[in-house]
Amino acid sequence: MRYADITRRLAGLGGAKWDVHIKAKALRAQGHDILELTIGEPDVPTPKALMDVASAAMQAGRTGYSDGRGEPGLRAALSERYSQRTGRPISANQVMCFPGTQTALFSVMMGIADTGCEVLVGDPMYATYEGVIRASGADMVPVPLRPENGFRLAADDLAARITPRTRAILLTTPHNPTGSILTASDIDAIGELALAHDLWIISDEVYEDLIFDGETFTSPLSRDELSDRVIVVSSISKSHAAPGFRSGWCIGPEAFTETLLPLSETMLFGNQPFIADMTEKAVGDGSDVAHDMCTRFAARARHLEHRLTQGCDLKVHTPQAGMFAMIDVSSTGLNGNDYALHLLEHAHVAVMPGTSFGSTLDNWVRVALTIDDDAFDTACTRIIQHATQLQLETA
3: CB partners within 8 A, 6+ apart? none
Domain 48-285 is in which class?
A: alpha beta
* Residue 270, φ and ψ in degrees, nearest 5: 90, 160
- Contact between 216 and 185 (Cβ < 8 Å): no
Q: Which CATH architecture has domain 15-44+289-394?
A: Alpha-Beta Complex (3.90)
Strands (E), the chain: 35-37, 95-98, 118-123, 139-144, 166-172, 200-204, 230-235, 248-251, 315-317, 324-328, 349-353, 364-368
What is the structure's pLDDT at 40?
Answer: 83
Measured at the CA of 101, the angle between CA 97 and CA 103, to 5 degrees, comes to: 75
pLDDT for the residue numbered 350: 97
Q: List every span in the chain annotated with CATH 3.90.1150.10.
A: 15-44+289-394
Order of strands across the sheet that contains 118-123: 95-98, 248-251, 230-235, 200-204, 166-172, 118-123, 139-144
Residue 10 confidence (pLDDT):
87
User: What pLDDT score does 191 carry?
Assistant: 98
What's the pLDDT at 276? 98
pLDDT of residue 199: 98
Cβ-based burial of 347 (10 A; exposed 0-12, middle 13-18, buried ≥19):
buried
Return phi, psi of residue 30, to 5°: -85, 0
88 to 83, 84, 229: CA distances (angstroms):
5, 7, 16
Distance in angstroms (rounded) separating the CA atoms of residues 17 and 180: 22
Given the DSSP bridges, would you call strands 324-328 and 166-172 parallel, antiparallel or unpaired?
unpaired
CA distances from 277 to 53, 61, 350 (A): 7, 12, 37
List of the chain residues with pLDDT < 70? 14-16, 395
What is the SS3 assignment for 142? strand
343 vs 63, 220, 286, CA distance in Å? 46, 39, 39
Start-end of CATH 3.40.640.10 domains in the chain: 48-285
Percent helix, strand and coil across the chain, each to the nearest 5: 50, 15, 35
> pLDDT tens digits, residue range 296-308?
999 999 999 999 9
For 89, which DSSP code? -
Residue 269: predicted pLDDT: 83
User: What was the pLDDT predicted at 14?
Assistant: 63
Distance CA 235, CA 290 (A): 13
**In which order are the strands placed within the sheet that holds 315-317?**
35-37, 349-353, 364-368, 324-328, 315-317
Task: Check: CB of residue 273 under 8 Å from CB of residue 63.
Answer: yes
Contact, 216 vs 186, CB < 8 A?
Answer: no
Contact 233, 205 (CB under 8 A): yes
Cα–Cα distance measured from residue 221 to residue 229, given in angstroms and rounded to the nearest whole number: 9
Q: Which helix (H) or strand (E) covers residue 386, if one does?
A: helix 373-394
Instruction: Name the pTM for this structure.
Output: 0.95
